[in-house]
Amino acid sequence: MNPRNFCFEYRIGIEGEAAAAAARYRTETDIARLKKAMSDLEKLHQTSQFSFEVDFEFHLSVARATHNNFFLSCLETMLPEIRSGMVLAIAPSGLSAEMKGMAIRQQHLAVFNAIERRDDAGARHAMRMHLSRCSQSTRHWDGAGTALELDEQPY
């Protein structure tokens, strides 16, 4: 298994639980921060651009909304691995960058909506699904960043 997939496997567990905790403990300030992150992602989507920093800020905002610094420090420690996974997730494949951006935006929105509703199970599920899809979308790359031949591109 590619080490990147181990990273996604770990993130699915950690960030899924972080999203559930965020739904339980979030404040209105946290919701405002998440809305800002969503707005920034939407602005990028409208111009068909991607920014690791903007995408990662959404994930950090979810971790902050847990009010548990272990979730936040975990993500911050994993920054290099997360960056490389995100770069490959949006890299050219069978789907256009616009379609990938739309899918990622919808997945983030599902996480946000569940957190806003205080639906911990829904937030956990939405984050786990988002990261699972991101993991699948990088499986066409080998460990050296070279595209592998697939019958069908994931995502």
In sequence order, what are the residues at sequence separation of 6 or more whose Cβ sits closer than 8 angstroms to the Cβ of residue 37? 54, 57, 58, 61
Residue 35 falls inside a structural domain: yes
Q: What pLDDT digit, counting tens, does each position of 82-130 carry?
A: 887 777 666 655 566 677 778 888 999 999 999 999 999 999 999 999 9
pLDDT value at position 77? 93
- Is the torsion defined by CA of 15, 89, 83, 81 positive or negative? positive
pLDDT value at position 97? 65
Q: Are 55 and 82 in contact (CB under 8 A)?
A: no
Residue 112 falls inside a structural domain: yes
The beta-strand segments (E) located in the chain are none
pLDDT value at position 66? 98
Give dist(CA 96, CA 4) in Å, integer.
Answer: 22
Residue 142 falls inside a structural domain: no
- Check pLDDT > 60 for residue 148: no
pLDDT value at position 153? 37
CATH number of 121's domain: 1.20.120.530
- Total number of domains constituting the chain: 1
CA dihedral 129, 60, 25, 44 (to 10 degrees): -70
pLDDT value at position 103? 84
- Of residues 66 and 47, the one with the higher pLDDT is 66
Residue 70 falls inside a structural domain: yes
- CB environment 62-85: b (16+ within 10 A), e (fewer): bbbbbebeebbebbeebeebbebb
- Check pLDDT > 60 for residue 42: yes
* Class of residue 144 by CB neighbours under 10 A (exposed 0-12, middle 13-18, buried 19+): exposed
Residue 143 falls inside a structural domain: no
Residue 148 falls inside a structural domain: no
- Check pLDDT > 60 for residue 68: yes
Residue 114 falls inside a structural domain: yes
Residue 129 falls inside a structural domain: yes
- Check pLDDT > 90 for residue 33: yes
Domain span at residue 14? 3-137
